[in-house]
Every structure is written in structure tokens, then in C-alpha cells.
Chains A and B, each alone.
Chain A
Amino acid sequence: MDFRFNIILEYAPFFFKGVLWTVGLSLVGIFFGTILGLAIGLGKMVRNRLVRLPFDWYVHFFRGTPLFVQILLIHFGVMPMFTAQPNPLVSGAISLSLNAAAYIAEIFRAGIQSIDRGQMEAARSLGMTHVQAMRYIILPQAIKRMIPPLGNEFIVLIKDSSLAAIIAAPELMYWGRAMQGQYYRVWEPYLTVALIYLVLTLSLSKLLHRLERRYDA
């Protein structure tokens, strides 16, 4: 099997741009996904069933349908309602954020509910308000438990950002497909792309490991 390094070199500037967009999409997804996820997670913990319902269904929808479909719906269905020329990067970022938020909401809820009920009771019995108990007792313990699943979700998010290639968002996967289309070669573009994703996810995973250990100390 011959392996043409020269065409990889030729595409290097595109891959470089693509990586930047992939990282950008992922960071935007992590940032807004986390904020939105926290809000939805709190919404899901409201006692009132009617208030909880929309949050429950948000999570059902975004976890129960493929991200692929969500991206197409948002780019070709939702975005055109707001702008004549939807930007695929914007559509991709929105899809990823909304999708990640559903998973992150569950991580938040599970993290908070995993803390023994006795902790809240002890805090309240000392006269703390619900907010004080959350802030000083529940959240510090819950966040520590959320780090591993959150890290996992962030890694999934980096990989899932590749689906934005389908709406021609010029991230890493898009350039891999472009290269494949130009040269009719399989190994060069896709192995290169795979390797770059691997470097990204492994770096993030290392970073999270360090964070976890610092929290443990």
C-alpha cells in the first residue's frame, strides 16, 4: 500500500484551520452546554410536576434523537426562520450546545441527588437556608463527583462536532471529506483526521485527570 504524505502536507493548512474550528465548536458547546445544562438540571429537580415537564421533555428529545438529525433540523429548519443565510458554524455550535446541555443536565441532577439526604438535613437543622445548604454543603461535594462524567461528556462533544461536516461547517472532518473527494483516497485523509481527534481527546482527558487529582488532595 502506498501512502501519499505529500497530499497530507498539501492539506495541512486546511487541517490546521479545521482543528481551530473544531476546538472552537467544542469550547462553545462546552461553555453554553454547561450553563444551559445547569439551568435545565435545576429545572428537572423542581418539585412541581408541571414546571418540571418541559425540562424533562427537553432532555428526552435531545437524548432520544440522533445529533445528526438535530443538526439537520436546526440548520435547515430552525435557523432559516431567523436568517436567510444560516452560517453552518453557528448552526453547528447551537446544535452541539443544545445537545450537550441535555446530557450535562442529567450529570448535574445525578451529581446533586447522589449526595446523601442526611447532608441536606444536617445543614437545614443547623438553620441554614436551602440556598446556603446547596452552596456550602451539597454543591462542593457534588461537583467533585461530576468531574469524571462531565469530562466524558466533553470528550464526546469534541468527537460529535465532526457531525457538523454534514452541513459544510469547515471544521476538521469537513476538510477530511474534502481531501477524500479531491483525491479519491481513504487512508490519508481519514487516518490524519482520526489522529488529530485522538490528540485532542487525549489532551483533554489528561487535563481532566489533573483537575480531578487536584480536587482530591
Chain B
Amino acid sequence: MIRVTNLKKSYGSLQVLKGINVHIHEKEVVVVIGPSGSGKSTFLRCLNLLEDFDEGDIVVDGFHLKDPKTDLNKVREEVGMVFQRFNLFPHMTVLDNITLAPMKVRKWSKEKATEKAMQLLVKVGLQDKAHVYPDSLSGGQAQRVAIARALAMEPKVMLFDEPTSALDPEMVGEVLAVMKQLAKEGMTMVVVTHEMGFAREVGDRVLFMDGGVVVEEGTPQQIFDAPQHERTKSFLSKVL
């Protein structure tokens, strides 16, 4: 589904990604962990080219992102993204937030888009919030709407960048529950998170990043119970 080879990226003189190789299979849930500033967000944002990269190649669903013939908007239609700070559109109702892209990008009819949106709102448990504006939602509700908004495009892959980091602790569970459900349904997911419980329970594979490289990867059991590298061990000892 996604193949990343030798991905390199710098901001000015600061090299943030120093050659990343990752292959993400269909229906796989890959969890990315690592200390702050290790390049997790940058890596994720390269996968839908919100961030341009300098070297290497990324192939998403058969599209080479660096190929000038590739229509990036087409790629992004297939790659949903959920942000730490939700980024809901504040001037639109929840329903309009969800239906806008399917109508304008996928050219669905209003009826079709609305029907899909209502299904998704039921799925994330917010059917009664369809006609309110985002600023009246709690953080947990806002993030669930953001997930519904991304899912409305029927993407093949979902990227999550610390989706629960901006939430009050009591709201983390409701968002993780939606993500778990999604994983169970077979969605391909790449999740950057500090929720180690989620990583262990839902992740098929865990990548530990530090200093712009993937230091270690493996199943949750391998990473959490028997880490091989010193940096992994010291990171885990701090967060577990």
C-alpha cells in the first residue's frame, strides 16, 4: 500500500529525516513512537506530501509521489489524515465539515454525501451533533468528527498524528475506541501516538524513531517486551 525508500528531508541545514525505509501493507496498523523532535510528524506528513521531501521515493497505492505526472490531489483523496489539533472548519456545521470534500472533490450529490456523513456520525456516536458548529464540541467530540470527515472520502489509508495528545485524559478513550473499531474493520492505518496501550493492543507493527531514522521495528511484543537497541530501551523506560 505504501512503500517508502531512503526518505530524506531537511529544514534548512537541519536534517530531520535521514533515510527512512518502510513498507506498509494493506490492512496493516503501523504505530510510530519516538521522542519529541525525532521526525514522526514530518515522516507522516511526507506520506501525503503536506511536506515536500528532498530525497528518496514514496509510492502510495501505486502513485510515485515524486513523479511530476502524479496528481497529488488524487493521491490525497485516498489518504485520510487526522491532526493533533482537529483542524475542523469552524465556519461550517459538523455535517458540512464532513460533506464538503465528498461533494467538491468526489463530486457526490448532496443526498449521497449527507447519507454517508450521517452513517459516519452514527459510527462515531455523534449523530445528534450534525447541525452544531465545531466550537460547541468537546475535544473528544471534535476529534471524532475529524475522523468522520476523513473517512467520508472513503480513503484507502488513514494517517493519525498524535490524535489524542491535545485531549483531556477522560476523552482519550472515546477517540481510541473509534480508532480501534476502524482497525478491526481492516483500515490501513499509520498512527503516531504516545498511547503505548493502544500501540500494544491495536498495532500490527511498531516503529521506533529517533533522530530522523527508524531505530527499531517489530511487533508490539518485540518492541515493548524485548527491545534490542539502547535508545529504544531508554525511551520506553521513560514512557512506560
A interface residues with partner B (beta carbon < 8 Å): 116, 118-119, 121-129, 132, 136-137, 140-141, 144
Contacts and interface: CB of A to CB of B under 8 A. Distances in A.
A129 B100 CA distance: 13
B6 interface: no
Nearest to B90: A141
Is chain A's interface secondary structure helix, strand, loop, or mixed overall?
A: helix
B184 to A, nearest CB: 24
A124 B45 CA distance: 12
A201 to B, nearest CB: 30
A125 B73 CA distance: 8
Given A121-B50, A136-B100, A136-B104, A126 B150 contact: yes
Given A121-B83, A127-B106, A140-B91, 20 more contacts: A116-B87, A118-B83, A119-B87, A121-B50, A121-B81, A122-B146, A124-B76, A125-B48, A125-B79, A125-B80, A126-B100, A126-B150, A127-B76, A128-B101, A128-B104, A128-B105, A129-B73, A136-B100, A137-B89, A141-B89
Contacts of B112: none
B55 interface: no
Contact of A126 (B74, B90, B105): B105
Nearest to A141: B91
Most A Cβ at <10 Å: residue of B80, B83, B87, B146? B87
B149 interface: yes
Interface in B99-129: 100-101, 104-106
28 contacts: A116-B87, A118-B83, A118-B85, A119-B87, A119-B89, A121-B87, A124-B76, A125-B50, A125-B80, A125-B150, A126-B76, A126-B77, A126-B80, A126-B105, A126-B153, A127-B105, A127-B153, A128-B73, A128-B101, A128-B104, A128-B105, A129-B73, A132-B104, A132-B105, A140-B91, A141-B90, A141-B91, A144-B91
A103 B77 CA distance: 38
B89 A126 contact: no
Contacts of B77: 126-127
A23 to B, nearest CB: 33
Given A127-B73, A127-B76, A122 B87 contact: yes
Interface residues of B, number: 25
Nearest to B106: A127
Contacts of A124: 50, 76
A132 B101 CA distance: 10
B5 to A, nearest CB: 23
Contacts of B105: 126-128, 132
A1 B85 CA distance: 67
A136 B106 CA distance: 15
A122 B104 contact: no
Nearest to A143: B91
A140 B149 CA distance: 19
A82 to B, nearest CB: 45
Contacts of A127: 73-74, 76-77, 101, 105-106, 153
Contacts of A141: 89-91
A6 to B, nearest CB: 56
Contacts of B73: 127-129
A119 B101 CA distance: 13
B34 to A, nearest CB: 21
Nearest to B103: A136
